[in-house]
Structures are given as C-alpha cells and as structure tokens.
Amino acid sequence: MLEQLAALAKIAEIDAEALRSDNELKEIPERIAEFDNNVRRLGALLAAERVELEGAGRLLVTQEGEIQNQSQSLAKSKAKSARARTLRETDAVEKELEVIRRSMKEREEERVNLRAAIEKRRGSLAKHEKELAELERLAAEERQKADGRIAELRELRERVLTGRRELAATLPAEVLRQYERIRDRKGAGAAAMKNKSCGGCNTALTPNQAVSVFNGDVFQQCARCQRFLFSPESLKAFADAKALED
C-alpha cells in the first residue's frame, strides 16, 4: 500500500508541475491578446485624431475663403463709399462696412483659435504615433518571447509527464478516477498530511485517520475536500528502506 501511496504522491507532484506549465501556457496568449488590444485601441484613437485633424484643416480652408470673400466685399464697400453723393448713402455704406469689419474680426479670431487647435492636435497625434510605434515594437518582442517560452513549456510539460502513465498503472482504477476527478475540480487530487491536518484545505484529521495516513495502510481521503492524503515522512522512510534493500 505504501508503494501505491508513493506512486499517488508522485503523480500529484507531476500533475502540480504540469499544472504550472498549463497555467502559464494559458496566460501567455491572454497577455499577447492584451498587447494586441492596446495596439488596436491606440490605432483607433490615432485614426479618429487624423479624421478630426483633416476636418479641422477643411474648416480652416473654408474660413480663409470666407475671410478672402469678406476682404473683397470690404474693398467694394470702400469703393462704394468713395462714390457716395449724399449723407444717406454714406451712412448706409458705413453701416455696411461696420458689419463686414465685425464679421471679419470674428472670422479672424475663429481662424486663430482653429490654427492653435490644429497645432495642438498635431502635437497630440505625433505623440500618439510614437507611442503606437513603441507599443507595436513591444508587442512584437513579446510575441517573439512568447513563442520561445511556449516551446519551452511544452517541452518541459512533456518531460515532466514522463513516467506518469507507468505510475498510474500501479493504482486501482477507481482510485485513479477519483483522484483525477478531484484534481480537475480542485487543482490537486492529493495532499500531504501536515500537523495531523489536510495539507490541501487545513481540515484537522481525526486521531484514527491521522494514524491511518501515517501508517499508509489504506487510501484515506479528507472529509472536507476529498483529496487523498499521504504522509511525507512515512513515504520518505519507505523510500529509504527500499533503497537499502536495492
């Protein structure tokens, strides 16, 4: 029985190490996906900024056209003022000139503000373009590192699992099924007894159960988490004795 418990403990150790590899293999694509999402978000932001900048540029052209038209209207009104013959005509032209000047002043202020906004947006766009280039570089580096790490983890996992099948063959089929069912649900199907408690969930064992786990005479399970229990001290003593026999 101790030999079977030693096999079960070794399988649990193998599975724990394989699980660490599995978890990292799962985390790597998630990390790469996060990089890719950040690249896409920043790219979308840049695209929106470019559209906004193009719109502002078109608006600036429109404003400059309006100012030019108003300048021409001002010149015509001035010429009309020079030709005025009566006071009434002069007053009407002056009112017309005042309206044009006020409108031109407003358009000039709008143009100044728009040019300032365009320059600010260009600065923001240039900054974000640098950030995107850096993020794309980091994402490419991360993908390259990830490819290498994935290959390492797969090789490690394969190496770790070497011998597991032979160990599993020494266990009763029902024990192995229960162990794997518990492992799949809780991450570990077996746990070491520590201070007469389950090392998986810290539940205290009854005195009789603790003695049974220490003796290794039957497969004992934690009453709370159902993990199979083993005594590291007993298994070490068993391994040492077996080594002396060999």
Span 167-216, pLDDT tens digits: 999 999 999 999 999 999 999 999 999 999 999 999 999 999 999 999 99
> Taking Cα atoms as reference points, which of 69, 203, 209, 52 lies closest to residue 125?
52
For residues 141-151, average pLDDT:
96
Cα 76 to Cα 6, 73, 81, 129: the distances in Å are 105, 5, 9, 47
* Average pLDDT estimate for 147-156: 96
Give the pLDDT score at 31: 94
> What three-state secondary structure class fits 173?
helix
Sign of CA dihedral 46, 48, 51, 55: negative
What's the whole-number average pLDDT of the chain?
A: 92
Q: Which residues face 190 on adjacent strands? A: 228
Name which residue leads in pLDDT, 131 or 73.
131
Q: Is residue 22 very low, low, confident or very high in pLDDT (cuts 50, 70, 90)? A: very high
pLDDT for res 246: 62
What does the pLDDT read at residue 100? Answer: 84
Q: Is the pLDDT of residue 89 over 80?
A: no
Quick one: pLDDT band at residue 30, thresholds 50, 70, 90? very high
> Looking at residues 27-31, what average pLDDT do you find?
96
Residue 130 CB-half CA count within 13 A:
5
d(C-alpha 246, C-alpha 235), whole Å: 16
pLDDT for 206 equals 95
Helix (H, G, I), strand (E, B) or coil at 224: coil
**What pLDDT is stored for residue 242 in this prediction?**
82
Angle between helices 173-186 and 2-83 (to 10 degrees): 30
Q: How confident is the model at residue 56 (pLDDT cuts 50, 70, 90)?
A: very high
